[in-house]
Structure 1
Amino acid sequence: MNTWMGVILKASAVCLPVLLYLFFDGRQFWLTDFLSNASQDIAVDSTLRTTSAELKQTANPKPHITRHSPVAHLDNLRRFGSCQTDIGRAVKYRVENGIYTWVDSKGVRNYSDKKPSQGATAYQPQSGVALDYFELEISGGAISNQFRNKLRSKLKSVFRGYTSLLGLSAMRKVKLKIIVLPTRGAYERAVRNFGGDLTGNVGVYFGIRNTALLEQRSYEATMRTAVHEAVHAINQAVIGYSPRWLNEGLAEYFESIDVSMQVGKVSSFDHVSRNGSLQGQVMSPHQLMEAETKWRSLKPDILYRSSWAFVHFLMSSSHGKVSLKQLMLLEQSEPCGVLDSAQVRSIFNNHYPTLNQTFSSFINRDIKSHRL
């Protein structure tokens, strides 16, 4: 007994001064903080190790979960998003055969055997053609290599679409971790553990963690949700916070992308009938811009369909692409704020004096797919 007491007293004599030093030096730590962070990682890992009994429940699925929620999805994007005040300003360069290429703040293209010294971020080209902007990590028990490769191919095509619209100098590298949960129960536990609201959704992007949680469904449905959430990650990295219709409209627009022979094609089968006509009600562009603070009270299917329709309309003409580019670059200049409806309308008025009428004419014609 005396021996043990002696050991305990000696250990206390060593540890106590160290802890007191850390406390008064301003580096104190709390065990609860450590346990909280650790428990979140453990909880997500545990959801991936689903029991066989839970997997059997998929044979008797629960009532249909609405894909779009008027509250949870967008509120999660705002609540768990992040922004960088210097977004889009860092010099980006690439290296080929020892030669550095970059565009400086004045828009001048530079070539040198030495990399730029100020605020530079490296983008390594693949096969000397496309820049690898996406650092993607995806996990899930049912996720195959074929799924991973197809998703990467789709996201590269999405990036080519963004680059074609905004220009290379506006692009930013995106880091994203996607975790696919095998059952609804596992998905709900993971979202709750991250502090999110899972009302009516099957995928949530937590920008502050660069992580998206997805519920495992069919192959195609899971793929589309993965692309949708990845577009939210791209939007956050490239333009920062943005109007809800723009953020969701871009995600809806690109989520159905298909790639063949490295060529991306954006279809619209979710919102358009086989004969090419729009299915369902949509809001006018001006109504959509004014609805920024009303997403909680309006029907989600109309909001998502309207957001998609407006983005598809803009991507269908050179005037639309120019106005969309101006809007996104203006948002990029103020990544931690969101333009109000008056600012947005002023941009479109320059190109569409009769925007609502032009949009109405567009949606009453056959709506065609786009090649990126």
Structure 2
Amino acid sequence: MKMGWNKWRETIFKTSLVLISVLLFLFFDGREFWLTQIQPQLTHVISNKKAEVDNPPVAPEQRFKKPSLARLTNSDTCDHQANLRRFGRCKSKPKAGIKYRVENGIYTWVDEKGITNYSDKKPDSSALSYQPKRNQVIDFFELNISGTHITNQFKNVLSTKLNAVFRGYTSIVGLDAMQKVTLTIKVLPNRREYEQAVRSYGGDPKGSVGIYFGRHNLALVEQRSQYATMQTAVHEAVHAINQAVIGYTPRWLNEGLAGYFQTIKVNMQVGTVYPNSARLDSGYIKGNILPPYDLLNAESDWKSYNTDLMYKSSWAAIHFLMSTAKGRQSLKALMLYEQIERCRSLNHQESSKLLAEHFPNLHDRFLLFVQSPVEPHRL
């Protein structure tokens, strides 16, 4: 009887260690959890331990293999996709709020029955406003930016750029597909404080100068030159737009859009996206580059490729698609299809099929694109 109690006490002790280990792992990993989420696993462990006490094995046997240190170490800390999966907040069905506009004190909106309504009162407290100007959205981005060296001029320029980016998205997918984006950007004054801030949210700052935490609607940016800081802020804001408007996306699409729009300039409310000069040589794309279909097929092996090659190829693919009517239609099809299942990114077969349907001669046109000077795009 005493021997049986000792075995049960040992079982309870081991089970407690398992429970504490699971709780500590989830805590330090920064995940939200409930006890009911781990209850089935604990029940399974207790059942197994009880079976071992009642029916001890004849010979010891290794049931589980401990993960090697190499598999636990995340060497690719610049992977926004991994960060979005870990720190993002997927919503399978975005909130479908009424969109209204105001002209001369009169609110106009279309209800769920498709009927246009007019009133001197706002339609709903949760309704989202838009103010069309030449069919462009100018009031769909709520931005809060702070930093020791961030001036009002910097804030105004960044806000103007992001409004232009949002108009660019609207020109691709249409107003009905857009969602309002709320984003806080914190610019840290030096590398040390940037790294501390990233780690405080559970991220790894290695190899990055900016990171987006979708769960908190927050982007952290390292202060460098004003030009570099501005580009990084726009880049991270585009990741926020992608998550709000599209949902989860393939790496090439997410990074390609962020790399494409980060070089935007605005003059008299007109946005122009300029080619990334770091990717060019005398106006032409320099060095090796993956054509679109090869880029799509490399999605699952992204980490095994040279990081610069993947970012450059992703940027080139988006700049190419935005260069022609067929390309923009293809991009629209991809983005709208992504909205259908926002918590799952398209695989390379699905993406390739959509591109082939909307842009049959894509490969040949891309070869011509890389052999020609890369031109800026007016949004």
**TM-score (normalizing by structure 1):** 0.76
* Deviation at residue 303 of structure 1 after TM alignment: 0.4
Q: Deviations over 1:164-205 (max 9, x none)?
A: 111111111111000011111110111111001212110000
How far off is 1:73 after superposition? 3.1
Matched-pair contact (CA < 8 Å) for 2:330–2:359: no
Give the aligned partner of residue 90 of structure 2.
83
**Matched residue pairs, number?**
306
Which residue of 1 is the match for residue 101 of structure 2?
A: 94
Q: Which residue of 2 aligns with 1:206?
A: 213
Q: What's the counterpart of residue 127 of structure 2? A: 121
8 Å contact kept, 2:256–2:317: yes
**CA separation of 1:161 and 1:344: change in aligned 2, threshold 3 A:** same
SS at match of 1:125: coil
3-state DSSP of counterpart to 2:238: helix
2:229 pairs with 222, 226, 249, which one? 222
What's the CA shift string for 1:303-338, capped at 9, x where partnerless? 000000000011001111111111101111211111
- Pairs within 5 Å for 1:163-202: 163-202=170-209
Residues 284 and 370 in structure 2, CA contact (< 8 A), matched pair in contact too: yes
Return the match for 2:323 from 307, 312, 316: 316
User: CA, structure 1 residues 88+310, in 2 after alignment: closer, same or farther (shift >3 Å)?
Assistant: farther
Letter in 1 for 2:318: V
- 8 Å CA contact 2:242, 2:254 repeated in 1: yes
> What does 1:1-372 align with in structure 2 at a 5 Å threshold?
71-87=78-94, 89-104=96-111, 108=114, 110-113=116-119, 121-125=127-131, 130-273=137-280, 275-372=282-379
Q: Which residue number corresponds to residue 39 of structure 2?
A: none
How far the C-alpha of 1:213 sits from its partner, in A, is 0.4
In 1, distance between residues paired with 2:304 and 2:133? 49
Aligned to 1:294, the other structure's residue is in SS state helix
Report the TM-score, using the length of structure 2 for normalisation: 0.75
- Is the partner of 1:82 in helix, strand or coil? coil
For residue 270 of structure 1, what is the amino acid of its counterpart? S
Is contact 1:70–1:297 with CA below 8 Å preserved after alignment? no
Q: Displacement of 1:83 after TM fit?
A: 1.9
> By how many angstroms is 1:93 displaced?
2.0
What amino acid is aligned across from residue 262 of structure 2 in structure 1?
A: E
Answer yes or no: is the 8 Å Cα contact 2:137–2:170 preserved in 1.
no
Check whether the contact 1:123–1:131 (CA below 8 A) recurs between aligned residues: no
Alpha-carbon distance in structure 2 between the residues aligned to 1:297 and 1:253:
23
Pick closer, same or farther for the CA change 1:72–1:189 going to 2, 3 Å.
farther
- How far has the Cα of 1:254 moved from its partner? 0.3
In structure 2, C-alpha distance between the alignment counterparts of 1:166 and 1:215, rounded to whole Å: 32
Q: Which amino acid aligns with 2:205?
A: L
The amino acid across from 1:193 in the alignment is: S
1-side partners of 2:378 and 2:267: how far apart?
A: 11
Contact 2:333 2:354 in 1 (8 A): yes
Q: Which residue of 1 aligns with 2:70?
A: none
User: 1:333/1:115 Cα in 2 relative to 1: closer, same or farther (>3 Å)?
Assistant: farther
Structure 1 distance, partners of 2:343, 2:324, is 29
- Structure number with higher relative contact order (C-alpha < 8 Å, ≥ 6 residues apart): 1
Task: Check conservation: 1:87, 1:239, Cα contact below 8 A.
Answer: no
**Counterpart secondary structure, 1:225:** helix
Code of the aligned partner of 1:309: A
CA RMSD for the aligned pairs? 2.6
Does the 8 A contact of 2:256 with 2:311 survive in 1?
yes
Contact 1:92 1:120 in 2 (8 A): no
Question: How big is the shift at 1:120?
Answer: 5.8
- Structure 2: give runs of 5+ residues left out of the alignment: 1-25, 31-75
User: Is the 8 Å Cα contact of residues 71 and 296 (structure 1) preserved in structure 2?
Assistant: no
- Counterpart code for 2:196: R
Distance, in Å, in 2 between the alignment partners of 1:162 and 1:109 is 26
